[in-house]
Structure 1
Amino acid sequence: MPTIQIPSFLVNGNAEALGISALDRGLAYGDGVFRTFPVRHSQPVNWDLHYARLAADSAVLGIACPPAAQLLNDIQQLFDNAASAVCKIILTRGVGLRGYRPPDDVLVTRIVIRSVMPDYPPENVQHGVRLHLCQLRLSEQPALAGIKHLNRLENVLARMEWQDAALAEGLLLDAHDTAIECTSSNLFARFGDVVCTPDLSRCGVAGVTRSRILSRLPELGYQAEVAPLPLQRLLQADEVIICNSLYLAWQVVEVAGTHWQAQPLAAQLRLSLQE
């Protein structure tokens, strides 16, 4: 039998689509939202949480989020029974004429992309990771804080700051030298039995894995705290963790000339998140 060619993306459920309209507002203005998560054996991992965040982020922008069943059908079309792959869902407000004011009758564009799971170095789990301290500072916009909107130029510019493969991520601060997140990860710092994650009410992205960790910390014997995290306080932490939905949790062993010895929290979190 011939090998079935699995398409790498769908546009509005269409595997034959070659792209999106040049008039799409996602292209023109970054007018949309997205989510990225693993898919295993054709099943999206933690789908209910990711869909809930996608719908909530869409609501902030006034975009009609497609029904969960429709997106799940797209995923089923796109993903075979491979052990692990990555799904990215992009929703844009759709096609419109020139001008910032959205059309009244616009139809949402939905894009589902399949890609291979990144081949992370095993040393990241075994020995922890080093971070680049980014020079770029995140701007504050409370109206967009927390959501994964398509305007990610800050992250692009920050990621361009380093080429050293030994640096796994870049630490992002705001204009007040407060630690917010990494270029594609959320951030936690442990002080004794208190584990703090930065307040994201003014900028930053609230990831699903961040929320999962916050809910699981009490089960692991830690007090969860959401609060501003100045860089100098971060550097005094007993342990620093970064997380996202693909690799779950890594310990940070170096940033800005500060070093940490191996600690147990990252491994505890990975085990808890895998359950």
Structure 2
Amino acid sequence: MTVRMLVDGRPGDTVSAQDRGLSYGDGLFETVSVIGGRAPLWSRHMARLAEGGRRLAIPLPDSEVLAKEMRAVVGDMAAAVVRITVTRGVGPRGYAPPAVSMPARIVAAFPMPAPDPHLARDGVCLRVCSLRLSEQPALAGLKHLNRLEQVLARAEWVDPAIHEGLLLDVAGRVACATMANVFAVIGGIPVTPSLARCGVAGVARAEVLATIPAVQVRDLALEELLRADELFLTSSVRGILPVQAVGDRVFAPGPVARAMQRHWRGLGFPLELA
């Protein structure tokens, strides 16, 4: 795999062993799809990163600096996934943040995963994960560096026919998938789970909310989701994917998912990535 990486603006692939991102997961990251040198959802990524920096009190690099470094690592790659990581930087031992933070930034470009147009057409199969997301409103919605819940959830299956895992919170409410947000169409009305307690507020989710103002953001029980007319997932890398099945419950790609796929292509993402 070809990886192009800048650490604090310089070519390299190492950070200090005392970096708080490594020690405590004290930081944030964004995963940006870049197609033909463009990042169609860049402004949404920067808005989420800024919100994370504000809530965690981590000073952030200027977005123009990040954009310049993104272009540098992408180079002539036709399609890339760029991960931007910002940590609080090196600090003394202990949980107390340093009085003055010196954040570290890592900007790395990876080849875009090989697309599977069949998933965009026919949909993906989900399982309901056993792991339950813990509730922490102070971190809810943020894409912070601690992803252990997602790691454990993804370790629950190895069957290649299962494409994603549905995550519930400790009360059994639907939250999201391991790497995507979820939308259900119930009685003709799109619904997506509230992320006030846990989960990541994805930039593709934000695009859907801006495009379809009628979407309801609310608590969603698993039983209600399984009675939906259609389901689809949203991801900044994988795009808009209809859900074909959740366990034994079978769904068909529906008109809302198809409309959002057309919108996704209109943003500049090719069909096979939708």
Do these two structures clear the TM 0.5 threshold for a shared fold by scoring above it?
yes
User: SS of the counterpart of 2:215?
Assistant: strand
Give, in angstroms, the shift of residue 266 of structure 1: 1.8
- Which residue pairs with 1:204 in the alignment? 199
- Which residue pairs with 1:3 in the alignment? none
Q: 1:190 to 1:18 in 2, by over 3 A?
A: closer
CA RMSD of aligned residues (A): 1.3
Query: In the alignment, is residue 65 of structure 1 matched against residue 52 of structure 2?
Result: no
User: SS of the counterpart of 2:152?
Assistant: helix
Preserved CA contact (<8 Å) 2:140 2:196 = yes
Q: 1:7 to 1:259 in 2, by over 3 A?
A: closer
- Which residue pairs with 2:123 in the alignment? 128
Preserved CA contact (<8 Å) 1:88 1:113 = yes
- Alignment of structure 1 residues 69-88 onto 2, 5 Å: 69-88=64-83
Paired residue for 1:151, among 146, 155, 170?
146
Preserved CA contact (<8 Å) 1:41 1:80 = no
What letter is aligned with 2:111?
Answer: V
User: SS of the counterpart of 1:254?
Assistant: strand
Preserved CA contact (<8 Å) 2:124 2:242 = yes
Structure 1 spans left out of the alignment, 5+ residues = 1-5
User: SS of the counterpart of 1:43?
Assistant: coil
Q: 1:90 to 1:22 in 2, by over 3 A?
A: same
1:92-119 per-position Cα deviation (integer Å, ceiling 9, x unaligned) = 0000121000111221000111101111
- Which residue pairs with 1:237 in the alignment? 228
- Which residue pairs with 1:224 in the alignment? 215
What is the percentage of aligned positions where both structures have the same residue? 43
1:34-81 per-position Cα deviation (integer Å, ceiling 9, x unaligned) = 111111233322211111111111111000111011111111211113
Preserved CA contact (<8 Å) 2:8 2:105 = yes
1:169-219 per-position Cα deviation (integer Å, ceiling 9, x unaligned) = 11000111111000000000001321000000000000111011011124x
- Which residue pairs with 2:256 in the alignment? 265
Preserved CA contact (<8 Å) 1:42 1:75 = no
TM-score by length of 2: 0.93
User: SS of the counterpart of 2:163?
Assistant: strand
Paired residue for 1:139, among 112, 116, 134?
134
Preserved CA contact (<8 Å) 2:5 2:13 = no
Paired residue for 1:89, among 84, 96, 105?
84
Give, in angstroms, the shift of residue 267 of structure 1: 1.9
Mapped to 2, the partners of 1:252 and 1:181 lie a distance apart of 13
- Alignment of structure 1 residues 177-196 onto 2, 5 Å: 177-196=172-191
What letter is aligned with 2:115?
Answer: Y
Query: In the alignment, is residue 12 of structure 1 matched against residue 3 of structure 2?
Result: no
Aligned residues: 265
Mapped to 2, the partners of 1:68 and 1:251 lie a distance apart of 33
TM-score by length of 1: 0.93
Preserved CA contact (<8 Å) 1:26 1:93 = yes
- Which residue pairs with 1:54 in the alignment? 49
User: SS of the counterpart of 1:39?
Assistant: strand
Paired residue for 2:208, among 202, 209, 213?
213
Mapped to 2, the partners of 1:224 and 1:194 lie a distance apart of 7
User: SS of the counterpart of 2:10?
Assistant: coil
Preserved CA contact (<8 Å) 1:181 1:198 = yes
What letter is aligned with 1:251?
Answer: P
User: SS of the counterpart of 2:32?
Assistant: strand
Mapped to 2, the partners of 1:149 and 1:33 lie a distance apart of 4
- Which residue pairs with 2:270 in the alignment? none
User: SS of the counterpart of 1:166?
Assistant: coil
